[in-house]
Amino acid sequence: MSNPILSVSGLHKSYGAVEVLKGIDFEVSPGEKIALLGPSGSGKSTCLRCVNFLETPTRGEILLDGERVGVGSGGRAMNNRDLAPQRAQMGMVFQGFNLWPHLSVRDNIAIAVRKVQKSSAAEARDLAEAMLAKVHMAEKADAMPGQLSGGQQQRVAIARALAQRPKLMLFDEPTSALDPELVGEVLNVMHELADEGRTMLIVTHEIAFARDVADRVLFLYDGVIEEEGPARQVIETPRKDRTKAFLSRMNG
């Protein structure tokens, strides 16, 4: 078996006296798709944000391709500038779209490429257009974000993350801010990325999507992994009562 792309061990996160993550351990293999499921407040998004140090773990270790994330030589904590190359290897797609409203769709992607990869303007432009084509947004390259629907903006955000050429894609409830009729277009793009063999860690409430796309499901409850296993097995025949109750509520 190949070495894991991502290894998370003993991950804890507290905010003052409130312990949100209480010891999370998991690995992600190259090409694997893992869905994080669980009720609101279970720690899913916090876990994802700790992986790329948007939130600093209280303790624990995170390895990306064998390299410790957020910790430099001599155990020194990295600042945001030091962290930038590691974060670029983990393309993050947020609940909100976080697009620059004053830049065109193309420039929203190209400016990120130029800053992180130090590419020329022409190279960044070409890559931006290639990534927009991948998410079926090539015809909107000159549009401004305010001219796009929420689903279109989220597809641009996915293209921006892809342009970093990441080893791992992180999705933090990417459809939660969308109107129901726009959810499908984003999920379709994510499905295509999964079919390409992209390595993906996905926080989602879209249960059918998780069942069909994920290789494994981690069900979080109260800051711990309550149940994990193959996606269809966990979703269709869960073993734990809390998993059963959650899925029953989600399925109406």
DSSP H stretches of helix in the chain: 44-51, 80-88, 105-117, 121-134, 150-162, 180-195, 207-213, 231-236, 241-250
Residues 15-25: tens digit of each pLDDT: 999 999 999 99
The closest alpha carbon to 195, from 212, 181, 208, belongs to 212
pLDDT reported for residue 63: 96
Residue 113 has pLDDT above 90, yes or no: no
Is the pLDDT at 1 greater than 70? The verdict is: no
Residue 240 near residue 37 (C-beta atoms within 8 A): no
Q: Provide the mean pLDDT of the chain.
A: 94
Residue 114, pLDDT > 60, answer yes
Residue 252 above 70 pLDDT?
no
The owner of tokens 């903006």 is: 153
- Kindly state the tokens that stand for 30: 């190259």
CA-based radius of gyration for the chain = 18
Q: Which of 20-24, 38-42, 89-93, 115-119 has the lowest mean pLDDT?
A: 115-119
The label of the residue with tokens 């700790």 reads 50
| Number of other CB atoms surrounding residue 251 within 10 Å | 9
Tokens of 240: 């734990």
Residue 80 is predicted with a pLDDT of 87
Which tokens hold the place of 18?
A: 């409130």
Q: What is the pLDDT of residues 182-213, one digit of tens each?
A: 999 999 999 999 999 999 999 999 999 999 99
Distance between CA atoms of 236 and 15, rounded to whole angstroms? 34
For range 169-191, the mean pLDDT: 94
Mean pLDDT, residues 148-175: 95
Other C-beta atoms closer than 10 Å to the C-beta of 101 total 8
Arithmetic mean of pLDDT, 70-97:
89
Structure tokens at 147: 């001219």
The predicted model gives 145-150 an average pLDDT of 96
pTM above 0.85, yes or no: yes
Does position 141 have pLDDT exceeding 90, yes or no?
yes
Residue located via tokens 């430099």: 72
